[in-house]
Structure 1
């Protein structure tokens, strides 16, 4: 069943000179770091500490499509969207732009699953997380 995605978090971070590779643009691995930082900020805004131990969010897959090369200098704007939550997971979608430019430079996705870090088994989303994901 297809559900509309909802914008849940926006952040900006600088492109560092060291983010570029020998081709003179941001290396493909760095886009995953941008998505990771945005995801951690969003999760921590929901008062969920991203630390080992107990129940917490992990990702079970991640993808990125590179549309327009990014280069230094610049500010990356990462917009995170979520789909409708399941029992223990939610699909996230990301759009990356350069500040001041509405074109999408890269698109990404990751499935976030709540898991007990001791057992490695999924657990239901915390009630306050589900409420935030389902809020209009």
Structure 2
């Protein structure tokens, strides 16, 4: 546990590429999702991703993603920090929370959450999380995402 009482998060430093910028000089919103993917793959590689994927192995598939952009990420030579942690664990799925940030400036560019599920490629169906996977996910368990602009949904009449 950290001094502020929060559970520690896993941090990945993801480099930005020149092509990540749009005409306004900031990192495009779609690229932010790619950066999250790079951080997720790096963080989960050892426990979930096979070195040589096979047709009868396991896939880790995205079921849902939600993202809230809080500040523009301006293109820069330094990598961007992405903190990630587990916000929920189910039978065959789990959710990862993320913050894309610059700690030196105290700035959070985006918050996001991804629902992932384990998929048996041979059976072509979701599979239950294994005990080793569950232990690793529990080690990363943390608080739920604190969405800034969550609103109740209403149906227009």
**TM-score, with structure 1 as normaliser:** 0.85
CA distance in 2, matches of 1:59, 1:8: 21
Counterpart pick for 2:129 among 107, 125, 129: 125
Please, which moves more after superposition, 52-61 or 102-111? 52-61
Shift of 1:100: 2.1
Q: List runs of 5+ in structure 2 lacking aligned partners.
A: 1-5, 142-157
**Partner in structure 1 of residue 69 of structure 2:** 66
Q: CA RMSD in A?
A: 2.1
**Partner in structure 2 of residue 109 of structure 1:** 113
**TM-score, with structure 2 as normaliser:** 0.74
Determine if the alignment matches structure 1 residue 15 to structure 2 residue 16. yes
Q: List runs of 5+ in structure 1 lacking aligned partners.
A: none
| Aligned CA distance change for structure 1 residues 52 and 108 (closer, same or farther; 3 Å) | farther
Larger Rg: 2
The 4+ residue runs of structure 1 with deviation greater than 6 A are none
Shift of 1:131: 1.0
Determine if the alignment matches structure 1 residue 35 to structure 2 residue 36. yes
**Partner in structure 1 of residue 138 of structure 2:** 134
Per-residue CA deviation, residues 9-46 of structure 1 (Å, 9 max, x unaligned), is 21012222211101221011100111001110111132
